[in-house]
């Protein structure tokens, strides 16, 4: 075990001082004792575990991953049948987790920003409504909210025949939410390609404009040109291939809906619960971020002759984001980890699949190791990305 | 779960101008106030009217569902009256019928006064701890006394009280026990972890960082699963530990990691001069930590600590997933009986009131404390 030398200056001539009064020696001793104690505890637990596994005849290792799962999964992004392997079942669970987490993060950011700005509204009623929203949602356990939404969707919504139709083609019933689906047309590949080209061109234009402004001081309407490139290029392509467009409407056949996109009650409850809950936290972050920008910044920027939109975009937002991004990152991580509560309402996320798997195989250690490994990987990736973004916008001190 | 970190407290320098909608009804005549705060522009007028429309509409729906059309009592388990008005009126008869079950779950019915008294003791302990004039050694004695009383009442077996095993405990006392002990035991652990993370000794630092990051990287659900299926494997043959205790251990492990990060924030905020001054006085590491650093560091982080407590209090509801009868699970189970199936919304609203009162109370308290402590600092 290595030890960093302490910051204590030793007399250069003296030999090695091995007395207990030497802080370096003491530090090494402490560390040996602590590591030894922890090691002993771990060794004790591991040896108990090995013994228990032997007496209970529980298999070890990840060999079961190749076996047939025989476990039905309610919803899946990729084709799946109970005849597939455990590995594939887990992958389905992982995709379900990622699906709800990604959609949830996007929606929670949108809703949270709106509520956060609403809390700062000069309109008293708007500000108070946002405040009540935040206080109620933040002070109730998420699991309670998820169960509430799930019960609402499952028990209080009518059957498919009496489904509520808030918009044409949208059906709310106890079978979940039915939405019309946009059918994929042969030319859509080109539109997607055009969109990518548009984005690349917009980035190039904005870089060029920045360089030009830095060298000549001339401005260029970057925003409008970029918008035109990003929306216009795929739009023109869409028109060029003859604007093919078709919706598949959900239809009531027999006792259930056919066609369209179906969000199961479980998915809908989980998504609504996660989004509304996380949005309450993001709203507080956004609010404090905006408040953290000194009023003088507004006044100074306006005095320089910038328009209000420019002040917001060029002066206030960059400073507010610096306050907003780090805590928002931890909210994204929380949302992802909170999606594990899906197991309580029966949405087949990774925890739910792994839990069923460990009940079937009895291999608890492997099952929990998989769950933990998956979440650690997701957590580390999100925080790595957000750290990169944070560095990108952080204050560069000169 | 795990938003433990993030009850965001109000920013310290909230500008007086931005986003402080006029609050003082008293000073300004109502019409003038409404003009300034509700109808000061076309957009705001439109927003106000739209919001008023929705608020009134939903308030009417809610009142007619929750009060006017609600069924308050049904004979026995005959819930036809409730079923007839499904979706139109609430079935509060459920709460009437299942009140005892939701509060105490499977605790023996004739002994219900004991967990009820436990709830009262817990509440008294919280109130006493919240009062700053009790913040001294006396508080520890009060707590020890309270906890002994709680143990005696819950288990029984002495003073002529019937013994009640842990497997029969449930309802609100379980929620309070899990969160109180979780916080009380995790807090000292978290201080050690935070000190370890800032230690000069690499082996100790690495261990603490690994533990904190590992626990914070995984959801509480996975720790609870670990507690319910893996802990039994860790113990030697023949030794069994009660499920409630295992869940409590998982919650303590989880809470310690999150609290450690809060405490670390406080430690980092202490100026270097304090450490150096303590060293110059010749204090040992522990003297320096206990007498100089921690009192200042912990005082700084009281608001985020309370916010973490709120998060942990809410997170105890997750023990539902491994089948422990806390308040939320009792509510969920109360509608399992066929006669009452489908009235979950009512049960959840009922327990939501309890959670809200506790969490909102704590967060208001932390805001007041923040103001009071910063005023103290300014002087």
Q: Select from A197, A219, A245 the last residue of a domain.
A: A245
Which helix (H) or strand (E) segment holds residue A252: the answer is strand A251-253
Domain ranges of chain B: 2-68, 182-378
pLDDT score at B316:
92
Residue from A331, A352, A361, A280 nearest A56 by CA: A361
Per-residue pLDDT reduced to its tens digit, A284-293: 999 888 888 8
Which member of B14, B15, B328 has the closest CB to residue A144?
Answer: B328
Co-location of A351 and A290 in the same domain: yes
The number of beta carbons lying within 10 Å of the beta carbon of residue B195 is 21
Helix axes B172-197 and B243-269, enclosed angle (nearest 10): 40
pLDDT band at A255 (very low <50, low <70, confident <90, very high): low
Write the Ramachandran bin of B20: left for phi over 0, alpha for psi from -120 to 50, otherwise beta.
beta
Q: How far is CA B326 from the centre of its chain?
A: 13
- Work out the percent of chain A whose per-residue pLDDT is above 70: 92
Inter-chain residue contact A351 with B218, CB threshold 8 Å: no
Which member of B1, B22, B203 has the closest CB to residue A35?
Answer: B203
Distance from CA of B111 to the nearest CA of A (A): 28
- Would the CA dihedral through B327, A349, A255, A83 be positive or negative? negative
Confirm whether the ipTM is greater than 0.90: no
Among A1, A23, A147, A323, most B C-beta atoms within 10 A, so best to mutate, is A147
Which of chain B's residues have a Cβ under 8 Å away from the Cβ of A367? 225, 229
Residue from A195, A191, A161, A189 nearest A175 by CA: A161
Co-location of A204 and A304 in the same domain: no
Q: Find the closest chain A residue to B45 by CA distance.
A: A123
Per-residue pLDDT reduced to its tens digit, A197-214: 888 988 888 888 888 888
Q: How far is CA B178 from the centre of its chain?
A: 10
Residue from A289, A281, A285, A295 nearest A318 by CA: A289
∠ at Cα A316 (A314, A322), nearest 5°? 100
Co-location of A354 and A303 in the same domain: yes
**SS3 label, residue B121:** helix
Inter-chain residue contact A365 with B87, CB threshold 8 Å: no
Co-location of A239 and A276 in the same domain: no
Q: Select from A245, A270, A287 the last residue of a domain.
A: A245
Residues A237 and A194 sit within 8 Å (Cβ to Cβ): yes
Co-location of A132 and A226 in the same domain: no
CA distance B252 to A6: 33
Residues A201 and A233 sit within 8 Å (Cβ to Cβ): yes
- Would the CA dihedral through A139, A142, A147, A148 be positive or negative? positive
Q: What is the mean pLDDT of chain A?
A: 82
Q: Find the closest chain A residue to B2 by CA distance.
A: A334
Q: Find the closest chain A residue to B23 by CA distance.
A: A124
pLDDT band at B352 (very low <50, low <70, confident <90, very high): very high
In a domain, A16, yes or no: no
Q: What count of CB pairs under 8 Å joins A to B?
A: 232
Co-location of A342 and A277 in the same domain: yes
CA distance B179 to B183: 6
CA distance B164 to A242: 76
Per-residue pLDDT reduced to its tens digit, A110-133: 999 999 988 888 788 888 899 999
pLDDT score at A7:
54
Per-residue pLDDT reduced to its tens digit, A340-364: 998 888 888 899 888 888 888 878 8
Q: Select from A245, A272, A294 the last residue of a domain.
A: A245
What torsion do the CA atoms of B127, B133, B137, B141 make, to the nearest 10 degrees?
Answer: -30
Q: Is domain B182-378 given the CATH code 1.10.3720.10 in the classification?
A: yes
- A218: containing domain: 184-245
Co-location of A227 and A280 in the same domain: no
pLDDT score at B367:
82
Which member of A6, A34, A380 has the closest CB to residue B204?
Answer: A34
Start-to-end Cα distance in chain A:
41
pLDDT of A14 higher than 60? no
pLDDT of B149 higher than 60? yes
Lowest mean pLDDT among A105-119, A146-160, B8-22, B353-367: B8-22
Which of chain A's residues have a Cβ under 8 Å away from the Cβ of B44? 121-123, 126
Across residues A87-96, what is the average pLDDT?
88
Residue, of A78 and B121, whose pLDDT is higher: B121
Residues B19 and A291 sit within 8 Å (Cβ to Cβ): yes
Which member of A125, A155, A372 has the closest CB to residue B222?
Answer: A372
pLDDT band at A395 (very low <50, low <70, confident <90, very high): low
pLDDT score at A31:
86
Distance from CA of B208 to the nearest CA of A (A): 11
Inter-chain residue contact A122 with B37, CB threshold 8 Å: yes
pLDDT score at A280:
93
In chain B, where does DSSP find H-type helix? Answer: 30-37, 42-63, 80-84, 93-104, 113-130, 137-155, 172-197, 202-217, 220-225, 231-234, 243-269, 272-280, 285-287, 294-300, 302-315, 327-334, 344-378
Q: Which of residues 172-231 of B touch A (CB under 8 A)?
A: 200-204, 207, 214, 216-222, 225-226, 229-230
Q: Which of residues 25-64 of B touch A (CB under 8 A)?
A: 37-38, 40, 44, 47-48, 51-52, 55
Q: What is the pTM of this model?
A: 0.82
Residue, of B21 and A397, whose pLDDT is higher: A397
CA distance B347 to A225: 55
Across residues B56-80, what is the average pLDDT?
79
pLDDT of A98 higher than 50? yes
A366: domain CATH number? 1.10.3720.10
Co-location of A268 and A219 in the same domain: no
Which of chain A's residues have a Cβ under 8 Å away from the Cβ of B38? 123-125
Co-location of A292 and A378 in the same domain: yes
Residue A256: strand pairing partners: A253
- Tally of domains within chain A: 2
Co-location of A99 and A231 in the same domain: no
Distance from CA of A94 to the nearest CA of B (A): 14
Which helix (H) or strand (E) segment holds residue A318: the answer is helix A317-338
For the ranges A64-68, A187-191, B214-218, the maximum mean pLDDT occurs at: B214-218
pLDDT score at B187:
92
In a domain, A28, yes or no: no
Which helix (H) or strand (E) segment holds residue A262: the answer is strand A261-263
CA distance A266 to A269: 5
In a domain, A372, yes or no: yes
In a domain, A37, yes or no: no
In a domain, A109, yes or no: yes
Co-location of A189 and A284 in the same domain: no
Residue, of B21 and A191, whose pLDDT is higher: A191
Co-location of A274 and A388 in the same domain: yes
pLDDT score at B20:
44
CA distance B335 to B332: 6
Across residues A73-86, what is the average pLDDT?
78
Q: Find the closest chain A residue to B20 by CA distance.
A: A120
Residues B288 and B267 sit within 8 Å (Cβ to Cβ): no
């Amino acid at each position: 075990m290595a030890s960093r030398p302490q910051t204590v200056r030793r007399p250069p001539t003296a030999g090695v001082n091995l007395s207990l009064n030497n802080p370096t020696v003491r530090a090494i001793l402490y560390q040996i004792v602590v590591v030894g104690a922890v090691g002993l505890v771990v060794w004790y637990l591991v040896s108990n575990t090995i013994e228990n596994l032997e007496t209970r005849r529980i298999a070890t290792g990840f060999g079961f991953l190749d076996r047939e799962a025989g476990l039905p999964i309610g919803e899946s992004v990729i084709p799946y049948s109970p005849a597939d392997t455990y590995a594939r079942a887990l992958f389905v669970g992982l995709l379900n987790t990622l699906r709800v987490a990604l959609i949830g993060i996007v929606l929670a950011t949108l809703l949270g920003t709106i509520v956060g700005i609403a809390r700062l509204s000069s309109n008293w009623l708007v500000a108070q409504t946002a405040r009540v929203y935040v206080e109620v949602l933040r002070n109730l356990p998420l699991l309670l909210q998820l169960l509430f939404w799930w019960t609402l969707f499952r028990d209080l919504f009518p059957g498919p025949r009496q489904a509520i139709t808030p918009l044409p083609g949208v059906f709310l019933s106890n079978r979940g939410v039915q939405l019309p689906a946009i059918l994929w047309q042969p030319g859509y590949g080109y539109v997607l390609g055009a969109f990518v080209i548009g984005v690349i061109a917009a980035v190039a234009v904005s870089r060029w404009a920045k360089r030009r402004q830095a060298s000549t001081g001339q401005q260029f309407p970057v925003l409008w040109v970029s918008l035109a490139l990003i929306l216009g290029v795929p739009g023109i392509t869409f028109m060029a291939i003859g604007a093919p467009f078709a919706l598949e409407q959900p239809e009531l056949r027999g006792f259930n809906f056919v066609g369209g996109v179906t969000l199961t009650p479980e998915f809908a409850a989980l998504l609504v619960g996660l989004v509304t809950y996380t949005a309450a936290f993001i709203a507080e972050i956004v609010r404090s971020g905006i408040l953290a920008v000194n009023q003088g910044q507004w006044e100074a920027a306006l005095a320089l002759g910038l328009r209000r939109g420019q002040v917001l975009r060029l002066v206030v937002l960059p400073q507010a984001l610096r306050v907003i991004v780090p805590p928002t990152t931890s909210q994204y991580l929380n949302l992802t980890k909170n999606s594990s509560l899906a197991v309580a309402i029966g949405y087949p996320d990774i925890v739910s699949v792994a839990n069923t798997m460990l009940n079937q195989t009895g291999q608890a250690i492997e099952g929990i190791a998989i769950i933990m490994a998956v979440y650690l990987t997701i957590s580390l990736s999100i925080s790595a990305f957000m750290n990169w973004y944070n560095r990108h916008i952080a204050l560069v001190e000169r | 779960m795990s938003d433990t970190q993030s009850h965001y407290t109000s920013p310290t320098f909230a500008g007086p101008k931005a986003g402080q909608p006029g609050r003082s009804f008293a000073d300004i005549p109502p019409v003038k106030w409404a003009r300034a705060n509700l109808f000061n522009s076309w957009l705001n007028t439109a927003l106000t009217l739209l919001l008023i429309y929705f608020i009134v509409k939903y308030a009417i729906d809610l009142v007619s569902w929750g009060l006017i059309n609600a069924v308050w009592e049904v004979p026995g388990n005959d819930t036809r009256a409730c079923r007839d008005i499904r979706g139109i009126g609430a079935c509060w008869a459920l709460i009437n019928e299942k009140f005892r079950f939701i509060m105490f779950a499977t605790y023996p019915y004739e002994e219900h006064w004991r967990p009820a008294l436990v709830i009262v003791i817990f509440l008294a302990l919280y109130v006493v701890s919240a009062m700053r004039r009790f913040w001294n050694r006396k508080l520890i004695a009060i707590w020890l006394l309270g906890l002994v009383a709680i143990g005696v009442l819950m288990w029984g077996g002495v003073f002529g009280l019937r013994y009640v095993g842990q497997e029969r405990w449930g309802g609100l006392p379980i929620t309070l026990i899990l969160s109180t002990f979780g916080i009380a035991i995790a807090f000292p652990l978290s201080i050690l972890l935070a000190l370890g993370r800032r230690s000069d000794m690499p082996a100790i630092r690495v261990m603490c960082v690994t533990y904190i990051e590992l626990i914070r990287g995984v959801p509480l659900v996975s720790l609870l699963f670990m507690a319910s299926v893996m802990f039994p494997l860790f113990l030697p043959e023949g030794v069994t530990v009660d499920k409630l205790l295992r869940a409590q251990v998982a919650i303590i492990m989880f809470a310690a990691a999150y609290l450690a990060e809060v405490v670390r924030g406080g430690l980092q905020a202490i100026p270097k001069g304090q450490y150096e001054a303590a060293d110059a006085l010749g204090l040992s590491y522990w003297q320096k930590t206990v007498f100089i650093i921690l009192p200042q560091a912990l005082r700084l982080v009281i608001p985020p600590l309370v916010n973490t407590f709120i998060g942990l209090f809410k997170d105890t509801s997750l023990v539902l997933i491994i089948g422990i009868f806390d308040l939320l699970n009792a509510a969920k189970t109360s509608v399992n009986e066929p006669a009452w199936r489908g009235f979950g919304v009512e049960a959840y609203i009922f327990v939501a009131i309890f959670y809200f009162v506790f969490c909102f109370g704590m967060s208001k308290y932390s805001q007041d404390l923040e103001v009071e402590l910063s005023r103290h600092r300014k002087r």
